[in-house]
Every structure is written in structure tokens, then in C-alpha cells.
Amino acid sequence: MMNTSLFEKMINRYNELSYTHNYIYGFCFQNNIYMVKATAEIMPYILKLDKASRGAGYSLRFCPTNAQKIFLLTKGAQVLCSKEFFETSAKESKYNKGEIFEKMVTEFYGQEWTKDNVPFTDDGDLTTNGIAYQIKFEKATFTNEKTLARM
């Protein structure tokens, strides 16, 4: 049973602190990698409360179920690439799948990607048409209780 109160509090606190409320989510569905733009309003429907690592309490994670992926498809998701191309790109790179997805999305928008560690409170991962976006791929952690308590 999920602690709904904690889940809502963490989403609300994350949104209070976040530089942007615009997201590009990535997920694998039927052998394709999809990307979809969305706002913070859908966070309660696609995130989950998970156990954070190293004693940091709980975390907010994007681990979409098939039903949640179908929901995201209804929000205008588009194919970014095939699963095979994505998996090969990840295997041949020093970067993780989240970073590879961020790189592919950035390049999709005609920009050059560089790895950075800019906090979610300071900027998005990509700015296009004057809108900053956080980019999240499957299994991405948004934040955890320890981080939110520190801020």
C-alpha cells in the first residue's frame, strides 16, 4: 500500500523547488522508444513512491507500467527511435540509458548535448522555444526524502 500522503507531499515539494514544470518522458513500448512532453499535472499518475538507496528514505521514480505507458501515448507521445537502436547506442556508450535518452532528445531538437549535473532547482535539461524541460527516462529518480529535507 502506497503512502499517498507522503507521495503527494513529495510531488508538491519537488514542484515548489523545481526550476521547470515541463517534462519530456521517455519509455519503451512495443519495440520503440517514445518521448512525450507533459507538465507536472500528470506526475501523480505516472510516478511512484519507491525506497531510496543509502538511507535517503523514499524516492519519487518514473517506472511506468504498461497502463501508464498507454496513458502517455494518449498525451501525444512520438517515436524517437527503435528499441534496438537505443539498446545498441547505450551498450556502445559510457553513458547510462537516461543520459543516452537525454542526448537523443537534445539532438532531436537540433541542439548539441553535453553531460551536466545542473540541479533541478537551477535549470531544465533542455530549453527549446523558450521552454525548459526536465528529461526523464524509465527508472529515473526525481528526488528523495533526504534531498527534499536538505532544501
Q: What are the cell numbers at 106? A: 537534445
Phi first, then psi: what are they for 41, rounded to 5°?
-55, -30
Where do we find the cell 547506442? 89
Per-residue pLDDT tens over the stretch 91-116: 999 999 999 999 999 999 999 999 99
Rounded average pLDDT over 123-151? 95
* pLDDT value of residue 2: 60
Tell me how far CA of residue 24 lies from CA of 35, 54, 83, 91, 143, in angstroms.
6, 28, 18, 23, 16
* pLDDT value of residue 128: 96
136 Cβ neighbours under 8 A, 6+ residues apart:
23, 24, 25, 26, 62, 98, 142
Tell me how far CA of residue 96 lies from CA of 45, 58, 86, 113, in angstroms.
25, 22, 11, 14
Per-residue pLDDT tens over the stretch 19-34: 999 999 999 999 999 9
Tell me the pLDDT of the chain averaged across its residues.
Answer: 95
Q: Which of 41, 43, 23 is nearest to 131 (CA)?
A: 23
